[in-house]
Amino acid sequence: MEEKLKNTLAAAQLIERIRSLIGKEKGHPRARAAQLGPRLLSTSSILLSTLTSSSWECVASHRAVLVARCDVMAAMFSGKYAEARPSVPIHGVSSDTFLISNLTPAVLAMAVLVCAEMYQVKRLQHLCEVCVCAYLQSMPSRELSSTGISVIRLLRRAKCHNAEQLYIWLLHFIANNYLIFSHKPDFLELSEEEREQVERLRWPSRGYLQELSEYQQRRRKLRKSRCIVM
């Protein structure tokens, strides 16, 4: 590196390469990180507190990484906000949720989705939506009927935190497994509009069940008539 810096042409090429790595766009978070200068080279602390606890847990982090990955934090650190202090408090998020790398359980993925929506990390939010869908879809009907996971409440949280694709998918998932979810107590938490949509998309449909019932009645009558003739 020292040898390259002595050579003017090599130094210019090195600077150009660094610029291409951090992003030339003016609004790019990496470009903003470079503009903030040496101030970002220090580490910051993320203070995490859950909604049910008044105690705080400190997690060490690097400002430049946070700025490069999250536009919201880039704005926080670059402006004259209270969050520009060395320690940034985050309410309602546990350290397990904030630092999690495995998003297998649907409830945990939903907790990470809430955090991702809070800080506008769209890609992470989309990954959480995909994870919830894949996890629920992989569950067999017997396990789905006995699970403690409330799909209706996942639907509520998806709507509350602007996960529109997940919200629509969960509505179809409830409709496709109507006989399972309609008997659960939280089914009544659906709004009138949501219940109408579920009823319209439900499987088995009312028409199918009615035809099935009529078919079974005709079969029973045929069996009785055969017995009489014999």
Where along the chain do its domains lie?
A: 25-96, 100-230
Strands 57-62 and 87-91 turn out to be unpaired
Model pLDDT for residues 163-172, shown as the tens digit of each residue:
999 999 999 9
Q: Per-residue pLDDT tens for 188-205?
A: 999 999 999 998 888 878
- Could you give the CA distance from residue 166 to residue 145 in angstroms, rounded to a whole number? 20
pLDDT > 70: percent of the chain: 67
Instruction: Give the pLDDT confidence of 33-70 residue by residue, as tens digits.
Output: 444 444 433 455 666 655 455 667 777 777 777 788 88
- Residue 65: which residues within 8 A CB-CB, separation 6 or more? none
Global pTM value: 0.64
With H, G, I as helix, E, B as strand and everything else as coil, classify residue 1.
Answer: coil
